[in-house]
Amino acid sequence: MSDERTRELAVATVRERVADEDAEEHVLAAIEDRADDGLLSADAMAEWHRTCREHRRSTADDIEAAADRLDEIRASLDPIDRDSNLVRARVDEIERELDAMRSELSAAADRPSSTTERPDSALAVYEAAQRLRQCEGTTHEVAHALHHLDEEIDMFETWLDDPDARIDDLGEEIEGFERYLDNTEGLLGRLETGATGATDPFDAWLAAYHLQRMMTLVFEELRSDIAELDAWLERREESYEAELTELREQLAALEERHEECSKRLDAATIEVEGFERKRAEVAESLDAFEAALDDHEPPVDWAAVERRLQAQFDDLGIELS
């Protein structure tokens, strides 16, 4: 048919045209799903565009609804609690997730908008379908992530008024940071026994040094968090001194392990041939890393710190086997 709105294209023709283009089967299957008796109309493609845009807009609206809900929860808090590091850390984390979702949806919107709604050739149909499928996939993933984020906001709202939840959460956070010391102790053990394998001994020492330096930032944050929790619990009717004591002891045990690792780290330098020379070669990089850590203020974005740590390892060529 010659009318642009009703023009039809055989799916078999699309398959034949893209046979040598490393075509994705899920894209071709999606084209077939929208065909009638093996013929895909221009109207069907236009409708696909429309539903894709609508789903993306609906998901974007859901993101803003979640953001509004977070704002309402935050606005309902006592100013002292709202400005505490414990609360700000959770709010910041949720806001970062919301921003990431907005960014992904924005990128998804660019895909269908970069192609015509009514492609007039087999290759153009495939390319349009590919972009629409990418948009649909991203939108679905964001919607799924948003569902979990809504649950996180529910948990956050409960956490705000639940002393036990706050205590348990901080205890789990302290436990979570043990992995840095586990890694440090593992590296030091390999250095002390000469069992670094394919890992250069200086790389092992350097990685342990970075982990140790990072833990100083961890301790600053955890001490601040316990102090804030203590102040918040004092406004409750019940006493939670036993629980606070346990948290302080848990942190003290972690600090003792850190101090022991620092002693072992200093002693392990004799296991590295040419240590002073190698240390001097990376001194500028180490200074920059420490300055970057010092720039982080509570509440610390630990994901960003870990990315900085990995970037430092990459820059220095640290390879751990």
pLDDT in tens, 210-240: 999 999 999 999 999 999 999 999 999 899 9
Is residue 67 predicted with pLDDT exceeding 90? Answer: yes
Whether 117 shows a pLDDT value over 80: the answer reads yes
For 240-266, what is the mean pLDDT?
97
pLDDT surpassing 90 at residue 133: yes
pLDDT, mean of residues 246-268? 97
Contact 202, 278 (CB under 8 A): yes
* The pLDDT value given to residue 182: 96
The per-residue pLDDT of the chain, averaged, comes to 92
**What are 77-109's pLDDT values in tens digits?**
999 999 999 999 999 999 999 999 999 999 888
Q: Averaged over 240-246, what is the pLDDT?
A: 97
* Confidence grade of residue 4 (pLDDT, cut at 50, 70, 90): very low
The residue-averaged pLDDT of 281-287 equals 96
CB contact set of 74 (below 8 Å; sequence gap of 6+): 82, 87, 91
Beta bridge partners of 200: none
Assign 2 a pLDDT band (cuts: 50, 70, 90): very low
Distance CA 278, CA 275 (A): 5
Q: What is the pTM of this model?
A: 0.86
Domains of the chain by residue range:
8-160, 163-316
Dihedral, CA atoms, 219, 223, 224, 225, nearest 10 degrees?
A: 100
pLDDT at 65: 98
Cα 167 to Cα 12, 96, 204, 239, 245, distances in angstroms: 62, 24, 36, 13, 11
Cα 35 from Cα 31, distance rounded (Å): 6
Structural contact between residues 14 and 40, judged by C-beta atoms closer than 8 angstroms = yes
Mean pLDDT of 265-276: 95
pLDDT band at 140 (very low <50, low <70, confident <90, very high): very high
pLDDT of residue 74: 96
Q: End-to-end distance of the chain based on CA atoms, in angstroms?
A: 64
Tell whether the model's pLDDT for residue 320 goes beyond 90: no
Residue that has been written with the tokens 């619990």 in this structure: 233
pLDDT of residue 151: 98
In this prediction, residue 1 carries a pLDDT of 37
Whether the predicted pLDDT of 5 surpasses 60: no
Q: Which residue has the higher pLDDT, 204 or 20?
A: 204
Structure tokens given for 55? 């789903």
Distance in angstroms (rounded) separating the CA atoms of residues 23 and 19: 7
